[in-house]
Amino acid sequence: MKEKPTEVTTGKKTTTQEAGRRGGQKVKDLYGTEFYMKIGKKGGEKVRERGHEYYARIGKMGGEKVRDTHPSDYFAQIGKKGGEEVNRRNGPDYYSNICKKGGESERRKTRNLNDI
């Protein structure tokens, strides 16, 4: 394997991003992609053990961070973009079709009967 130029040979400083990329590539070369799959699975299992409350808490923290770092109309903008993308992918009849399916669901029928 040919070595990449370093700060010594190029006179340029290596960025943190570049150092991380090189380190990750070195680990991949030594242990293979299966290694990353294995440690990713272990990490996911460990996080899952923390339970629903953990996900709710980190989701709330992330949402608060986004709220604090973006203008007030940010969520409206990304919601509109998301809706436009769904419309582009699925066509203009998509929303009316899923509304019909929701009205036909067993859960919906049960709820309506209980309201009587």
pLDDT band at 101 (very low <50, low <70, confident <90, very high): confident
Contact 25, 18 (CB under 8 A): no
Contact 2, 10 (CB under 8 A): no
Contact residues for 95 (Cβ-Cβ < 8 A; gap 6+): 86, 87
**Helix count and strand count (H, E) for the chain:** 7, 0
What is the 8-class DSSP label of residue 12? P
Does pTM top 0.85 for this prediction?
Answer: no
Give the mean pLDDT of 42-59.
Answer: 91
